[in-house]
Amino acid sequence: MNRSEMMGVFLSEAEDLLQLLEMEILNLEQQGESPQIIQNIFRIAHTLKGSSAAMGFEEMKQVTHEMENILDKIRNQRMPVTQQVVDLLFQCLDHLNGLKREIEQEGYAKTGIDSIVRQLRQLEKGTAENAESLRTRDKDHNQPLRKWRCKVRLSEHCEMKLPRAYIVFNHLKKWGTVISSEPDLDSVIEDTDLREMVYIVKTNADSDALRQALSQLLDVEAVEVAPVSHDHPADACVSWPEAGKDAEPDNPIPGPGRKEEKKIGQTIRVDVEHLDNMMNLVGELVIDHTRIAQVGSLLRDRYSSDETVDDLERISIHFSRIIGELQESVMKTRMLPVERLFNRFPRMVRDLARTLNKEVNLLLEGKETELDRTVIEEISDPLIHLIRNAIDHGIEEVEDRKNEANPLKARSKFGHLIRKIRWC
């Protein structure tokens, strides 16, 4: 695959990822803090970071990397989800969309990222200071330190196991002191067979907190945490089920890697130009079939008793059915769920409602309806215009609704409208 083809795949994937990112941030704002939503946003940012890094677009890589730092703190319960966080995530989304458009038009990103990166780091720094004060307070309360044996299993789909093992190691250092690791990560050269690691950690955190924090790391499939007993070291041993058995580890918390084991590769991306070319070829086949049918009719008139003419008619009928099915299949490949269009509306409604100081609840139905790609593109702008007008002119502000509940104010407003109509 050459650079041009890779660019097309990257832009198409980035478009889908950014749209998913927008929907998940909206869900976060509407539904509140949810581990699943946070994990979804983290996955999207991580995927976009990887693809942009592979293509050499450092600006997108840097922004998504800083987003990951914020999201990691949120999912480890070291940062609350506030309106400031949501607004900043939306700013990141807008910045990423702008970078994608520049890459699409110019071949590179030219907008600076210093401002958005600075805001993300300031937010992270403020949270880190709060976390440090909390840790100091916990120490003041003389929380007991305990040793835990943390066994971590990575997903078999993890491509860089050794770097991931170091990430787990560094993450545990935030909770306390990592006494040892097995195997010794510094002695590992090839990470091909590195899938299970054991860390001995001394901390005042409990086992549930450690297990939850580790299980939320990327590519972590399962986690076991057990106390280390000085008298009975064997009490700390944990083991995974033997290969081929259906048993699961005791109370495992499946990490992100487990969800990625589902079957993949069921869809492929196809350029619309290729579909248009296929449709044109099908049209040519329809024309040729019509001509064959006409020739068959002429031959039937001339050689009514010839078996060859009968064979030609049977072939023509079969050819007609095959062409019809082919034409229907090609047309279906151009069909897209209208959800692709509807997904643009929630963010637009959210921003417009905040600008106009109005309370708006958007309800979308029939998102599974399929339309031709061209039709979706044609109706996009008119639908956006209708929704904007409905919010701008069809929904009153909260204060106006309250005023209408007051008879005196309502009469005053009605009189003003009458005077305005007479003046017109």
What pLDDT does residue 21 have?
92
**Is 44 domain-assigned?**
yes
Q: What percent of the chain lies above the pLDDT cut of 70?
A: 78
Residues 313 and 216 in one domain: no
Q: Kindly tell me if the per-residue pLDDT of 33 is higher than 50.
A: yes
CATH number at residue 404: 3.30.565.10
What pLDDT does residue 237 have?
42
Q: Which residue has the higher pLDDT, 3 or 382?
A: 382
Q: Kindly tell me if the per-residue pLDDT of 60 is higher than 80.
A: yes
Domain boundary among 140, 161, 189: 140
What is the enclosing helix (H) or strand (E) of 355? helix 345-356
Evaluate whether 212 touches 160 at the Cβ level (below 8 Å): no
What is the enclosing helix (H) or strand (E) of 287? helix 272-302
Q: Give Cα separations from 333 to 31, 130, 288, 366, 367 (angstroms).
A: 35, 53, 23, 20, 18
Phi, psi of 271 (to 5 degrees): -65, 135
Task: Categorize the per-residue pLDDT at 417 as very low, low, confident or very high, splitting at 50, 70 and 90.
Answer: very low
Query: Which pLDDT tens digit goes with each residue over 334-348?
Result: 788 888 788 888 888
Residues 113 and 65 in one domain: yes
Q: Which residue has the higher pLDDT, 188 or 221?
A: 221
**Is 396 domain-assigned?**
yes
- The whole-angstrom separation of Cα 6 and Cα 1 is 6
DSSP 80-103: ---HHHHHHHHHHHHHHHHHHHHH
Mean pLDDT on 125-153: 65
Residues 235 and 285 in one domain: no
**Is 421 domain-assigned?**
no
What pLDDT does residue 249 have?
41
What pLDDT does residue 74 have?
87
User: ∠ at Cα 44 (42, 50), nearest 5°?
Assistant: 100
Task: Categorize the per-residue pLDDT at 409 as very low, low, confident or very high, splitting at 50, 70 and 90.
Answer: low
Q: Kindly tell me if the per-residue pLDDT of 70 is higher than 60.
A: yes
Residues 99 and 163 in one domain: no
**Is 420 domain-assigned?**
no
Mean pLDDT on 50-68: 90
What pLDDT does residue 247 have?
39
**Is 150 domain-assigned?**
yes
**Is 418 domain-assigned?**
no
Task: Categorize the per-residue pLDDT at 96 as very low, low, confident or very high, splitting at 50, 70 and 90.
Answer: very high
Q: How far does CA 40 lie from the centroid of its chain?
A: 6
Q: Spell out where 32-132 has E strands.
A: none
Q: Which residue has the higher pLDDT, 22 or 159?
A: 22
CATH number at residue 61: 1.20.120.160
Report the catalytic residues. 46, 68, 389
- Bridge partners of 199, per DSSP, are 150, 181
Domain boundary among 307, 333, 359: 333
Residue 248, Cβ neighbours under 10 Å: how many?
Answer: 11
What pLDDT does residue 236 have?
42
What pLDDT does residue 238 have?
43
DSSP 174-243: TTSEEEEEES-GGG----TT--EEEEEEEESS-HHHHHHHHHTSTTEEEEEEEEPPSS-GGGG---PPPT
Residues 329 and 386 in one domain: no
Domain count of the fold of the chain: 4
Mean pLDDT on 204-216: 83
Least confident of 102-106, 356-360, 420-424: 420-424
Q: Which residue has the higher pLDDT, 358 or 191?
A: 358
**Is 416 domain-assigned?**
no
What pLDDT does residue 265 have?
41
Mean pLDDT on 40-69: 90
Residues 251 and 298 in one domain: no
- The whole-angstrom separation of Cα 391 and Cα 397 is 10
Q: Dmax over Cα atoms in the chain, in whole Å?
A: 107
Residue 183, Cβ neighbours under 10 Å: how many?
Answer: 13
Domain boundary among 124, 140, 156: 140
Residues 130 and 8 in one domain: yes
Q: Which residue range forms the structural domain that includes residue 111? A: 3-140
Evaluate whether 352 touches 394 at the Cβ level (below 8 Å): no
Query: Which pLDDT tens digit goes with each residue over 283-331?
Result: 888 888 888 888 888 887 787 777 787 888 888 888 888 888 888 888 8
What pLDDT does residue 95 have?
92
- The whole-angstrom separation of Cα 73 and Cα 69 is 6
Secondary structure class of 415 (helix, strand, coil): helix
Residues 59 and 7 in one domain: yes
Task: Categorize the per-residue pLDDT at 248 as very low, low, confident or very high, splitting at 50, 70 and 90.
Answer: very low
What pLDDT does residue 259 have?
40
Residues 128 and 173 in one domain: no
- The whole-angstrom separation of Cα 10 and Cα 48 is 9
Mean pLDDT on 408-416: 48
What pLDDT does residue 406 have?
60
**Is 415 domain-assigned?**
no
Residues 221 and 299 in one domain: no
Residues with Cβ within 8 Å of residue 364, at least 6 apart in sequence? 342, 345, 346
Q: Kindly tell me if the per-residue pLDDT of 411 is higher than 60.
A: no
Residues 187 and 238 in one domain: yes
CATH number at residue 167: 3.30.70.1110
Mean pLDDT on 148-169: 83
Residues 291 and 214 in one domain: no
Mean pLDDT on 378-398: 85
Q: Kindly tell me if the per-residue pLDDT of 218 is higher than 60.
A: yes
Least confident of 62-76, 83-97, 228-242, 270-284: 228-242
- Share the mean pLDDT of the chain: 77
What pLDDT does residue 420 have?
43
Q: Give Cα separations from 329 to 38, 236, 373, 396 (angstroms).
A: 38, 59, 15, 47
